[in-house]
Structure 1
Amino acid sequence: MISWMQKHKKYLVVTIWISTIAFVAAGMIGWGQYNFSLAGGSVAKVGRISISQEELAREHKQLLDIYSQSIPNFKDLSEKEIKALGLEQNALNVLINQALLKNFALDLGLGVSDSEIVAEIQKSELFQRDGHFDEGLYKKLLQENNFRPSTFEDNVKNTLLLKKIASLFPQALTPLEQEAFMLPLSLQDRVRIEVLEPKEIPLKEESLKTYYNAHKQDYKKPTSYTLASLQVSAKDNPKESDLKSYFNKHKEQYTLQGKPQEFSKVEKQVRQDYNSDKAKEQALKDYLALKKGQLKAESETFTTLPYGEDINKKIESMRVGEVLKPLPYKEGWVVLKLVEKNASALESFVEARAKIAQILQTEAQIRELKKEALQKLPTFKGSDIGLLNLDFKGNIHDLGEKPSKALVDYIFKHPYKEGFALLEGPRAVLYKVYAQDFKHPVKNTTYLKQMAQNLKAQALDGALIAMLKQRYKITLYARSRP
C-alpha cells in the first residue's frame, strides 16, 4: 500500500486510489458479503463506525508489505523483532483516524454514490484493455488475488469519501505563508571568525591511573580463541589407474551438454577431485580421532581469526571443546577444535594508557579552549570570511569541509550575534555576525513549496483529528493478538 500519509505526510486522507489498486497485488480474503462489523468481532468502535478484525488484519498486512519493500533485510527479522516495530498498533491508529473522518462525513452529510465508485474503478488502467474498462478483466484480477469485489469497491468508496473531506480544507499556500516559509532560507550572515588551536596539556600519571581504575571495564582485549588445528593438504601424485577408476565411478559428474566426456579430456579435473576427496577422507579420520581424544594437535591463540569469513563465523559460535567437521581451506581441508575462548580479559594499565591519555588530553584541551574563548570573545576582531548561508559548502580557514559546515550550522542555530563553537580536533572558533540580509537566492523552490504545503496540510490534519477525538467516543475491544 502507498498511503497519502507516506507520500505526502498527510493523515487526513489516509488511503488513496493508488493504494486501493495496490491491494489487488497483495492477495486478500475470500468472496462473499462484507461489512465493517463481522461476526468474528470488532476490535474497536469509533462513534458510529465499527472497525472489524478483518480490517485490522488487512491494514496490518499492508504495513508489513510496505516495510518489507522499503527496509533492507526486513524479511530476515524475527517475529519478535517485527512485533517490536508496533505495526499492528500503527495499523489500528490508521483505521481509527479513518473512522473519525467517516463519522465527520456522516455529520456533514457527505456521501459517495455508486456511479462515483464505478467511474473511479473504470479510470484505472489496471482494469482496461485497449484504453477501455474491461469488466471481465476486473473480476478476473480480483478473483486471482482472492479479493472480494464488495470489499474492493467499499475501499474505493472510503477513499473517495476521505478525499471529499480533504477538499473542504485549504491546500494551497497563501503568499504570506509561502514567504514566511522561504524567508529563513534566504537569510545570509556576514561573519568574522578567529580559530583557537589546542595546546598540549601536561597530564599527571596519577590522573591516568585514577581514570583507568574507574573505567577499566571499558578496556577489554579482543576476544581470543585458542584453537587446535589439523590441516590436510591434497596430494598430487595419484596413480593413473586410480584416477581412471575414480573417473569410472563418477562419470555422471563429467558431462558436457549432457554427453559423457572422455577421460583424457577431463583428466585434470578428475585429478583435482580425486585429490580433494582423498584429503577429505583423511580429514574425516582426523576429525573423529581429535574428537575422541585419540589425536593431539598443536594449539595457537588468535585475536584475529585467519581462516576467512565463513570459517571465522563458525569459530565465533563454537563452544569450548567443540570440534568442527572438516572445512575446505586453502588447497585442502582443516579440522578445528576450540580449546579456549576468552572474551573478558581486560587490558592492563600499560596497554590502555595511550587511549586513556588521548581521552584526558582532549578533555583538558576542551576546558582550556573554553576558558581562552571566553576571555577573548569580548575584544576579538577576527577576520572576515564573507557571507554564510544554510546552503554553505566549502572549507573555512582550512578547518576542513565537515568542521566548516558544523560551524555554519552552529551559527545559524544559535540566536546570538557572537559566540564560540567547539569543533572536532578539538578547536574553538570565535565568531561575530556583523551584518545580515535576506538576499540569498533560494534553490529548489518547487520542492520547497510542496514541502510547505505538506507541512500545512499535516498541521491542519493533526488539528482536525485531535478535534474529532474529542467529539467521537473511541472504544477498544479485545485485540487480534496478545
Structure 2
Amino acid sequence: MLDLMRKHAGSWMIKILLGAIALAFALSWGVSQYGQDPRPPAVKINGEAIAESRVSEVYANLVEEAKQQLGAQFDRVAPLLNLRQRSLETLVNQVLLSQAANQMGVQVSDLEVQQRLASVPVFQRDGRFDVELYRRILSRSRLTPEQFEAGQRQELRMAKLSALVAGTAQVTPLELEQALAQSLAKVQGVYLLFKPEAYRKDVKATDQEIEKYYQAHKAQYLEPASLRLDYIVFPLAEQRDQAKVSEDEVREAYEADRQRYSQPESVAARHILFKLPEKPTPAEVKAAKEKAEKVLALAKRPKADFAKLAKRYSQGPTKDRGGDLGRFARGQMVGPFEELAFSLPVGGLGLAQTRFGWHVVKVYEHNQASVTPLDKVKEDIRARLSERRARELAQAAAERAFDKLALSGKLADLAKQMNKPVARSPRVSRGQKMEGLPGLQGLFAAAQDLKPGQTVPALAFEGGSILAVISERTEEKAKPLAQVREQVRQAAAERLAQDKARAEAAKLLKDLAATKNPAAELARLPHAARTGWLGREGRVEGLAGSSSLVQTLLLQPLNKPVLPAPLSVGEGFAAAVLAGRREAPAKEMEAKRAEFKEQLLAAQRRQVLQSFLEDLRARAQVLVPVQGGASKGLIPGCDSPGSIEWVPLDSPRAQAQARAQR
C-alpha cells in the first residue's frame, strides 16, 4: 500500500494522506508483526519487538524523500546519508514516545478524531465534511478509513504528549533580561584579516606531508563504484492501450483536486504611495494624506493618465512601472488596501491608509471567483491518469518478471519466454546518467550489497520500467597517490598556508591581550579595519561570512575585549578585538519583551522535549540482532540458538554491522 502511495506522491492530497498513514504504520504498535515476517525483528525496545518490515517502510519513505530533494545527486550522496540507521533511530524514538504516552495515560477520544477529520479541507464540499467524498478519496489511494483514522489518532496522541511534557518549560525574568540585553545590544570591533594566499609562496609540502595529507583525506580521491547491467525493458508504449480511464475516475480525480481548477476572486490595480515612517506623528499622517488627496483629484480629471501620475508622484517600489501591482487575490495585500480594492468598480478610484502610508488606488480589472468546468479539463485529466496508469502497469510487469526470474534464474531464458531482447548498459558510476535509460534514479541504492549475477528490484525510468541483472561491479576505492599526487600536493600546500595564516593571527591576538588598549593597538596596524555599530543581524561591509564575527563580538565581555582565537571569516582568519558596546535603550527592550519571551519559551519547550526523549533513550533497553553463534545473550522464546545474538544498539558490534550495511 505504501509503495502505491509513493508512486502518487506528486499529488498534494496524497502527500497529506502519506504523512498520516506513515504515522499509523510506524506508531500503532499494538501487536508485533514478527509472526508475519520470516526475518527476525529489526529491533527490540523495552522487550517490544519491531518487525523488519516496519524499518523497511520508514527507510523507503526516507529514500523517496531524499530522491525528491536531491534528484540526480541521490546516488552519489546516498552512502553519506546513512538512511538505514536513520530509519532505525526514527523508529526507536517513535516507539519510546508511544510507550511513554501509554504509561502516562494519554488518550484521544473518537470525537477528537472526528473533529480532526472534519477540519481537513480535502474532505470538505462547500465547507462541510462529506463522508462520501472522504471514503472515495481514501479508496482511490487503497486506504481504509480505519487505517487513516489510526494515523490521525496517533498524531493527535503525540501532540498531546508533546504539550504535556513541554508544559513544564518556563522562562525566568533573569533569562529574559539577559536575552534582551544580549540580542538588542550593538557592538563595534576592530579586525585584521590574515589571508592564506599571502603565505602560499612561503610554504612547500614535503613528500612526508603529501603522504600524510593523502592518508587523512583519501575519501576526496576516490575511484567511484560502478555497475554494468543486463536488462529487459517494459516500455510505457506497450501499456498505453491497457491504461483505460473511465468517466467516473476522471470525475473523481477532478473532485479530489478541485482546488487546482478553481480561480479565486481577484482584482488588478495600480497605486500611488505616499510613504509614512514606521511610527509617524499625527502631523506626518496629515501631510501625507493631503498630498494623496491632491493627486487623487488629479487622477479623477477626464482623460487623466494614472500611470504617468504614479511615475511622477509615487514613492513606492512600483513607481517605474506606473504603480502597477498586477492581479492579486484576497489575503495578498494589507487589510485596508485590500478592502478598498475589492470594493471599487473597474475604473474606480479611492484612498486608503496602511502601515506603509497613504495609497491612491485605481482598479482596472475585477474577476469573480470561478471553477473551470470538468468538460474543459477532462481530456487533460484523462491523459494524466492514463499516463500514470501506464507507468503503474509497466512497473507491475517488471515486478512480475522479477518474481519469475527468481524461479528461472537466467535473464536470457526469461527474455526468450517473453520475446524481449536483453540490452547491456555501458559502465555507469554513482551520479552518472544511464545512457539509453533517461530519468533512471536510485540504481545504486537498489543495487546495494548485490553481487554480479544478482537481480536488481524493478526500476522506473522516463520510458517505462526495467528488470536488470548486475553483469559487472567494481567497488569504490581510493586512487593511487601516484595518480593524484599533484592534486594532493596543491591541497597539502593550501592547508599549510591556512595553518600559517591562522598561526599568525593567533600570535597577534596573544600580543594584543598583553596591551592596555588592544583595540587602539590593532587599529594602528596596516590593513586593519573598524566595523560600524552592529546588532545581531548586522554584517560587516565588504567581508563575506561576517555574521560569525558579529555574533562572537556580541558575546565578548568588555573586560576581555580580545577574542580568544582567530575566526575563519571570508577568505582568511580574523584577529579581532571588541572596541565598544552600546546597550539597548529601555524603551526598545520593553517593546521587544513579549516577542523575546515567546521565542525563549519555544526554545525551552524544544529543549524540554529533547531532554525527555534523551532520558527515555538513556533508560531504555534497545537491542538489535547481529550475526553470531550460540550465546548466553540470546533472548528466550524469540530466537533460534546459533543464529543471531541481541546486543545494545550503541554497542561496537551493532555499529560495525550498521557500517557494513551502508
TM-score by length of 2: 0.39
| Separation in 1, partners of 2:67, 2:194 | 50
Shift in Å, 1:429 = 5.0
Q: 1:129 aligns with which of 101, 125, 129?
A: 125
2-structure distance, mates of 1:104, 1:71: 35
Map 1:347-362 to 2 at 5 A.
none
Aligned ranges 1:52-451 → 2 under 5 Å: 52-74=51-73, 76-77=74-75, 82=78, 84-170=80-166, 174=171, 176=173, 177-191=175-189, 211=205, 374-375=510-511, 378=515, 381-382=520-521, 387-395=533-541, 400-402=542-544, 407-412=549-554, 416-418=560-562, 421=566, 431-439=577-585
CA distance in 2, matches of 1:374, 1:470: 43
Give, as a single letter, the amino acid of the residue that structure 2 aligns with 1:431: V
| Structure 2 counterpart SS, 1:189 | strand
Displacement after TM superposition at 1:367 (Å)? 6.2
SS at match of 2:533: strand
Aligned 8 A contact 2:32 2:49 in 1: yes
How far apart are residue 97 of structure 1 and its match? Answer: 2.2
1:457 is matched by which residue type in structure 2? R
Deviation of residue 459 (structure 1)? Answer: 1.4
Shift of 1:391: 2.5
Instruction: Classify 1:92/1:137 alpha carbon distance in 2 versus 1 (closer, same or farther; 3 Å).
Output: farther
Whole-Å separation in 2 of the counterparts to 1:92 and 1:439: 51
* Equivalent AA in structure 1 for residue 538 of structure 2: F
Partner of 2:3: none
Aligned residues of 2:536 and 2:551 also touching (Cα < 8 A)? yes
Given that 2:43 and 2:622 are in contact with CA atoms closer than 8 Å, whether structure 1 keeps it comes out as yes
Within 2, Cα distance between the matches of 1:394 and 1:108?
Answer: 51
What is the Cα deviation at residue 24 of structure 1? Answer: 7.5
| Contact 1:189–1:388 (8 Å) recurs in 2 | yes
Paired positions, count: 329
The two structures, once aligned, show a CA RMSD in angstroms of 5.5
- Structure 2 residue matching 1:168: 3-state secondary structure: helix
Q: Which runs of 5+ in 2 are unaligned?
A: 1-12, 215-480, 524-529, 626-638, 640-645, 647-657
Q: Deviations over 1:35-90 (max 9, x none)?
A: 6422324434434755344433332232223323333435x516xx5355222332
Are 2:505 and 2:566, in contact at CA under 8 Å, matched by a contact in 1? no
Instruction: Provide Cα deviations, 1:369-401, integer angstroms capped at 9, x if missing partner.
Output: 766665566155355755343332243xxxx32
- Compute the displacement of 1:123 (Å): 2.2
The 1:178–1:143 alpha-carbon spacing in structure 2 relative to 1, beyond 3 Å, is farther
SS in 1 for 2:36: coil
Which residue of 2 is the match for residue 455 of structure 1? 603
Distance 1:59 1:165 in 2: 22
C-alpha displacement at 1:417, in angstroms?
1.3
Are the aligned partners of 1:40 and 1:53 in contact in 2 as well (CA < 8 Å)? no
Q: Under a length normalisation based on structure 1, what TM-score does the superposition of the two structures give?
A: 0.51
Whole-Å separation in 1 of the counterparts to 2:172 and 2:127: 41
Partner of 2:612: 464
Contact 1:46-1:96 at 8 Å conserved across structures: yes
Partner of 2:50: 51
- 8 Å CA contact retained: 2:546, 2:570: no
Deviations 1:405-428 (A, max 9, x none): 665455446553135857777787
Cα displacement (A) at 1:131 = 2.2
Q: CA deviation at 1:125?
A: 1.6
Note closer, same or farther for the CA distance 1:390–1:19 as it changes in structure 2 (3 Å cut): same
